[in-house]
Amino acid sequence: MLVSVIIPAFKKQHSIRENIESVYKALTSTRYKFELIVVVDGFSADGTLTEASKVVYPNVVVVGYEHNRGKGYAVRYGMARAKGDVVAFIDAGMEIDPNGISMILEHMIWYNADIIVGSKRHPVSKVNFPFVRKIYSLGYNLGVRVLFGLKVRDTQTGLKVCKRGVLEKVLPRLVVKQFAFDVEFLVVANHLGFKRIFEAPVEIDLSKDYSGTSFKKFLFFEPYIRGVLIDTLGVFYRLNILGYYNDSSNRNWIYDRELDMRVNTGAVKRKFGSKYVADFETGVLKDIKFSVIIIVRSINDHLRENIDYIKRQKYKNYEVLIVTDAQDRYDFKDFRFRLLCSGVVGPGAKRNYAASRATGDYLVFLDDDAYPHEDWLAAAAGVLSNNDLYALGAPALTPANVGILEKGSGKVLESSLASAGAVCRYIPVASRYVDDYPTVNMFVKKKSFFEVGGFTEEFWPGEDTKLCLDLVARNGGPFVYDPSPVVFHHRRNLFRPHLKQISRYGMHRGQFA
């Protein structure tokens, strides 16, 4: 049996090496093979990542991300990378004696448990527990038992172990990233039928300042206490009012690049009155085939750059259709690339021509002077794996290695003053719904594309706006924008070329306002 142990750590540069060494030593005394995954929850805050990386063992992995997201997110980040048959997590900070991991693993075997929880309330536990914290803890855990019916006397101690099967069912459904992660994890597991949840003894010293709070303020005025209570009530609302965790819900996935998995981070499809309700769906990521469509007058340097980057895609199930005015031969050295000749026609007609010959599930419209990140199609596959998503828009960033005039043009587009609500087209922002998006980086389900008759051949620019209006009208609501499938788009230089392009697009798009 392989055991994966996760240590989430934030601002622990002075103790993390000792912490890792002590946990590693405790694990070597068990009878199980193990891996230790240290997750640095925001390495920009201090030198935790640097210090943790100094501990070098074959089965110790140190990972992390730049900005602090909270303990819940850090544990999920580590869990998503765990390979073990059993997965455990233990808080950093040395409050919990890591030798208790051995006992908790044996409890998994003895009870054939789904989850084992390290518990301060276990009669054999040794706990140095300040009186004020004891009062808060008793009150909170009583409330949790009343709200959720959990037969667990202590949900908050940062040492837990679960079977991988529990993890695979529960992890993608979790929402809480900070204060009440432990409660949501146990509540959702219990709700999904994993009832064999037992407590094990721990040795813990809680006399230290824990979780970034001093507990000197009264109840709701203490930020940590307030955060825990709000998150806990949120779990109750999602469980009992929205039915958020039920298998019968019509849920949609969103792809989280840092977690490298599909999770319920806010992707929405089900209508509730005139609003859209955040939700998610259980399922396996499907092997979507993409048909990338690029139109151009003739092969040029930007297009060659684009082709080179497309070939670097980690996701391999795609084809590329390049449509020129007259050129019908080019050696791409890749069977997935096809060159089509349309004659001298407009952009809408060119794209329609390519779409009629596409064999993919989704049509991907990409400008010739853009080029994709290597994770572009993999990220899109994560977002589009739900069949109900008829379209997706994603950002086109300014390349880093360009001249000052092109960078200046990009900065103008990226400013809220210039682009207002459309700034998501030029920089990554949070997932949302949109009803108009340019075809520089746009994905459309092929079936939906033909249901609205494809692009109008009457307008240019503006044919992409008309397509979006038709798709929204046909499908009864807006489509998804997600920041994950990134491309880089060359800009027109300041000032005259930039202003000429903006004014031309503004005039034509204004026809549909």
The answer to the question of residue 174 being in a domain is: yes
How much is the pLDDT for 51? 94
The answer to the question of residue 243 being in a domain is: no
Token pair, residue 422, equals 């459309």
Show Cβ contacts of residue 61 under 8 Å, excluding neighbours closer than 6 positions: 35, 36, 37, 38, 81
List the CATH number of the domain containing 479.
Answer: 3.90.550.10
141-178, pLDDT tens digit by residue? 888 888 998 888 998 888 999 998 898 788 778 877 66
How much is the pLDDT for 503? 52
Number of CB atoms found within 10 A of residue 131's CB: 7
Q: Are residues 188 and 300 in the same domain?
A: no
Residues 110-122: what's their mean pLDDT?
92
How much is the pLDDT for 409? 82
Cα–Cα distance for residue pair 286/355, rounded to 1 Å: 22
Of the candidates 273, 277, 276, 282, the residue with the CA atom closest to the CA atom of residue 247:
282
Higher pLDDT residue, 32 or 250?
32
Q: Are residues 121 and 21 in the same domain?
A: yes
The answer to the question of residue 340 being in a domain is: yes
The DSSP annotation for 203-272 comes to: EEE--S-BTTB---S-GGGSHHHHHHHHHHHHHHIIIIIS-TT-TTS----EEETTTTEEE-SS-EEEEE
Residue 410 domain boundaries: 290-512
How much is the pLDDT for 60? 95
The DSSP annotation for 132-148 comes to: HHHHHHHHHHHHHHHHH
Which amino acid would we find at residue 52? Answer: A
Three-state DSSP class for 42? coil
Residue 31, pLDDT > 90, answer yes
Which amino acid would we find at residue 269? Answer: K
How much is the pLDDT for 76? 81
Decide which of 142, 176, 211 is a domain's last residue. 211
Work out the pLDDT band at 364, boundaries 50, 70, 90. very high
Return mean pLDDT, the chain.
83
How much is the pLDDT for 210? 44
Q: CA dist 357 to 9, 119, 295, Å?
A: 52, 62, 14
Work out the pLDDT band at 136, boundaries 50, 70, 90. confident
Cα–Cα distance for residue pair 146/236, rounded to 1 Å: 11
Residue 389, pLDDT > 50, answer yes
Work out the pLDDT band at 311, boundaries 50, 70, 90. very high
34-84, pLDDT tens digit by residue? 999 999 998 888 999 999 999 999 999 999 888 888 887 888 888 878 889
Cα–Cα distance for residue pair 335/311, rounded to 1 Å: 11
Contact call for residues 324 and 341 (beta carbons, < 8 A): yes
The answer to the question of residue 221 being in a domain is: no
Question: In terms of DSSP bridges, do strands 33-41 and 86-90 run parallel, antiparallel, or are they unpaired?
Answer: unpaired
Place of tokens 């390049």: 322
Decide which of 148, 176, 211 is a domain's last residue. 211
Q: Are residues 17 and 117 in the same domain?
A: yes
Of the candidates 91, 64, 278, the residue with the CA atom closest to the CA atom of residue 173:
278
Cα–Cα distance for residue pair 58/424, rounded to 1 Å: 42
How much is the pLDDT for 86? 94
93-103, pLDDT tens digit by residue? 778 899 999 99
Report yes or no on whether pTM surpasses 0.85.
no
Q: Mean pLDDT check: name the lowest of 184-198, 273-287, 416-430, 440-454.
A: 273-287
33-48, pLDDT tens digit by residue? 999 999 999 888 899 9
- Tell me, what DSSP letter sits at residue 96? B
Residues 483-492: what's their mean pLDDT?
91
The answer to the question of residue 277 being in a domain is: no
pLDDT above 90 as % of the chain = 46
Cis previous bond, 428, omega within 30: no
Q: Are residues 185 and 311 in the same domain?
A: no
Higher pLDDT residue, 18 or 140?
18
Work out the pLDDT band at 493, boundaries 50, 70, 90. confident
Which amino acid would we find at residue 141? Answer: N
Domain total of the chain: 2
How much is the pLDDT for 250? 46
The answer to the question of residue 93 being in a domain is: yes
Cα–Cα distance for residue pair 494/405, rounded to 1 Å: 5
Number of CB atoms found within 10 A of residue 195's CB: 12
Bridge partners for 41 per DSSP: 65
Cα–Cα distance for residue pair 310/294, rounded to 1 Å: 12
Q: Are residues 380 and 500 in the same domain?
A: yes
Q: Are residues 384 and 492 in the same domain?
A: yes
**CA 276 from centroid of its chain's CA atoms:** 19
Residue 433, pLDDT > 80, answer yes
Is the alpha carbon torsion for 394, 411, 300, 314 positive or negative? Answer: negative
268-277, pLDDT tens digit by residue? 343 333 333 3
Q: Are residues 188 and 331 in the same domain?
A: no
263-298, pLDDT tens digit by residue? 554 333 433 333 333 333 333 345 789 999 999 999
Residues 485-499: what's their mean pLDDT?
77
The answer to the question of residue 247 being in a domain is: no
Q: Are residues 328 and 472 in the same domain?
A: yes
The answer to the question of residue 351 being in a domain is: yes
Cα–Cα distance for residue pair 338/367, rounded to 1 Å: 16
3-state helix, strand, coil in the chain (%, to 5): 35, 20, 40
Token pair, residue 70, equals 């909270």
Q: Are residues 193 and 319 in the same domain?
A: no
Q: What are phi and psi of 89, to 5 degrees?
A: -140, 145
Higher pLDDT residue, 501 or 485?
485
Decide which of 211, 242, 276 is a domain's last residue. 211
196-248, pLDDT tens digit by residue? 999 999 998 876 544 444 445 445 456 767 778 888 888 898 888 877 787 65
Residues 4-12: what's their mean pLDDT?
93
Q: What is the 3-state secondary structure (H, E, C) of 385-429?
A: CCCCCCEEECCEECCCCCCHHHHHHHHHHHCHHHHHHHHHHCCCC
**Of all helices (H) and strands (E), which one includes residue 5?**
strand 2-9
Q: Are residues 165 and 296 in the same domain?
A: no
